[in-house]
Amino acid sequence: MTNFSLAIHGGCGVMAKLDLSEDEWIAARRDLGRALEAGYAVLSGGGHAIDAVQAAVVVMEDSPHFNAGHGAALNENGIHELDASIMDGTTLAAGAVCAARHIRNPVLAARAVMEHGDAVLLAGPAADHFAEAQGLAVEEQGYFTTERRRLALAAMKAHAAAGTRASASESEKHGTVGAVALDQHGHLAAATSTGGYNNKPDGRVGDSPIIGAGTYARDGVCAVSGTGQGEFFIRHVVGHEVAARIAYLGEDVKTAAARVIMEDLKSYDIGAGLVAVGADGAIAAPYNTDGMFRGWVTQSGQFHVASHDLVLPYEPH
C-alpha cells in the first residue's frame, strides 16, 4: 500500500494582507481546510485520486473566496466564462470544458466529458448543454457573481483605460483553484478550475482546461495543477514540463516544480504558481507572488493551510 497525499491551491493572486478583514481571511482558510477534508476523506478511505481531486475542487468552486464557480472572475463584457479540467494519471484519460457560462461546478462537467469518452474538451454553449444533459446543476449568471469580482472588474477596466495594467495587483488580475493527489493504490490525478482573469477578452481560454499546460497527471511521475497567467503556462506546457523534468532528468518534484516557476517563467515577470505531488507522495507548492492560497495533507492526517509565507496547521471539523 502506497502512502497517500493531497495538495490544493486557491490561486497565486491572493489579496494583500490588508485587503481583507481578519474574518475574511479566516473564512478563506477555512474553505481551504474544507477542501482538504473532502479530498482526505476519499483518500483515507482507500478511494481513488481522481475522486479526491474532484471532491476538493468542488468545495473551492462553491466558495466565494476563490476564482472558480461561485465567485469567478468577469470578462470584459461582465460575463462569467468558466474553464476546468481533470486528468487521471492511471490511464491518461482527461476531460475539460471551457468558456462555459452556466455550469455550477465545471470540474464535474470536465469529469463527465472524460467519462463520456467522445472528446477531451468541450467549449462554450456545447459544454453547458452537455452538462445539463448529464444531469449536472446549471445556474444563471448571477449565481457566480460576487461584489468583490465586480469591484475587481472595475479596477481592471480603470487600469486598462489608464495604461497601468502592469501595475495591477495579482488579485485584481486572476486566480484559479486546483488539486493534485496520490492515492493508496499509487495512482495520481489532477484537477483545475477557474474563471480566468478579470476583464479578459470575450471567449478567451487560458491554461486551466488545457491538458499538459494547467493540468497534468501521469502515474509513476507526478500530478500538477497550475495558477497564473495562462498564456505563458500554455506556451511552456507547464504541467507536462514539470513531469518531463522528473521523468527525463531524474529531478524530484520539488526541484522540477521550482525550476519551472522560478526560472522558466521568470523572464516574463508574471505571477505564477502550482501544486504538484510526486509518485512518492512528496509535495511541491512554489509561487513567485506575495502569496498563494494553498494547503496539503498526507496519510499522517496533519492538515496545513497557508495564504502568504506563514503555514498554519488546520484542525478538521
Which residues have a catalytic role annotated? 176
Q: Which residue has cell 466565494?
A: 64
Are 85 and 93 a contacting pair, CB within 8 Å? no
Longest dimension (CA), the chain: 58
Please, is 251 exposed, middle or buried when counting C-beta atoms within 10 Å of its C-beta (0-12, 13-18, 19+)?
A: middle
Strands 311-314 and 303-306, bridge-based pairing: antiparallel
The span from the CA of 174 to the CA of 91, in Å, is 31
Q: Based on the number of CB atoms within 10 Å of its own CB, is 249 exposed (0-12), middle (13-18) or buried (19 or more)?
A: exposed
Tell which residue, 226, 208, 317, has the closest CA to residue 276: 226
The CA distances from residue 231 to 10, 130, 202, 234, 276, in Å, are 19, 26, 15, 5, 20
Contact by Cβ (8 Å): 76, 199: yes
What whole-number distance in Å separates Cα of residue 189 and Cα of residue 222?
A: 8
Q: Cβ–Cβ contacts within 10 Å for residue 62, how many? A: 17
d(CA 184, CA 187): 7
Whether 14 and 230 have beta carbons less than 8 Å apart is answered as no
Amino acid in the structure at residue 242: V
Question: In angstroms, rounded to a whole number, what is the distance separating the alpha carbons of residues 140 and 31?
Answer: 24
